[in-house]
Amino acid sequence: MENIDYKDPQLLRRFISGQAKIIDPKHTRVCAKHQRKLSEAIKRARIMGLLPFVRR
């Protein structure tokens, strides 16, 4: 997996569902270590305004 950075919304959008929820690691095939980093990056990106909290 690439370096996970909250400033890269294109990468993070691949791991967000249509309702802007974080996709389960069973579907994305991400190990637990990277899933924790991924969810932290998505949450930071949401706070910074790079990703939406919900879809309209």
pLDDT digits (tens, 9 = 90+) for 17-55: 999 999 999 999 999 999 999 999 999 999 999 999 988
The domain containing residue 16 runs over which residues? 9-48
19 falls within a domain: yes
4 falls within a domain: no
Evaluate whether 38 touches 14 at the Cβ level (below 8 Å): no
Find, among 25, 19, 26, 1, the residue nearest to 11 by Cα.
1
56 falls within a domain: no
1 falls within a domain: no
Q: pTM of the entire structure?
A: 0.89
Please state the domain count of the chain: 1
Sequence-ordered alpha helix ranges (H) in 1-56: 9-13, 25-28, 32-48
Confidence (pLDDT) at 3: 84
54 falls within a domain: no
20 falls within a domain: yes
